[in-house]
Amino acid sequence: MAEGSHIDVPTFVNSFTKDGVFNDMVAGQAYRGEALGSVLPYMKGLFSNVHRDLKRITVNGDVVSIELSIQGTFDGQLASPTGGVVKGNGHKVDAPTADFWYLKNGKVKTFNCFVGYSKMYHDMGVDFDWASAVNKH
């Protein structure tokens, strides 16, 4: 339901309990209710051919742990926190990720996602400006 040419937002949203939450743990963002519908289109907006390469899936009762890579070609746009937009450049992205799905009655109660953003941004050609950070005293 979340691959490049086919994203199924209603199915994704409906896989959550009514009070279910998707936590982007690294970015510090939480999505609930209708906001859950923005998660898949956001990734597709960055990488039109987004793919999740599942490496390992472990199921322990109502907890599913997944080691994966988010892959794709950076051909979309990334809003910059400093204003403006970083335009796609065709770079290939392969970001290590870990997902933890906590289920209740067959639906997702909590989805904690840990994306390797520093690797993702590096692959996209967006590197952090450490020099300016060091010079801020």
Tens of each residue's pLDDT in the chain, 137 residues: 777 678 889 999 999 999 999 999 999 999 999 999 999 999 999 999 999 999 999 999 999 999 999 999 999 999 988 888 999 999 999 999 999 999 999 999 999 999 999 999 999 999 877 777 677 65
In whole angstroms, what is the distance from residue 83 CA to residue 79 CA? Answer: 7
Burial environment of residue 81 by CB neighbours within 10 A (0 to 12, 13 to 18, 19 or more) = exposed
Query: Going by DSSP bridges, is the β-strand pair 16-24/107-115 parallel, antiparallel, or unpaired?
Result: parallel
CA 56 to chain centre: 17
Residues 6+ apart with CB under 8 A from 134: none
Sheet holding 107-115, edge to edge: 29-32, 16-24, 107-115, 92-104, 63-73, 51-60
**Alpha carbon distance 3, 60 (integer Å):** 25
Task: Confirm if 102 and 63 have CB atoms less than 8 A apart.
Answer: yes
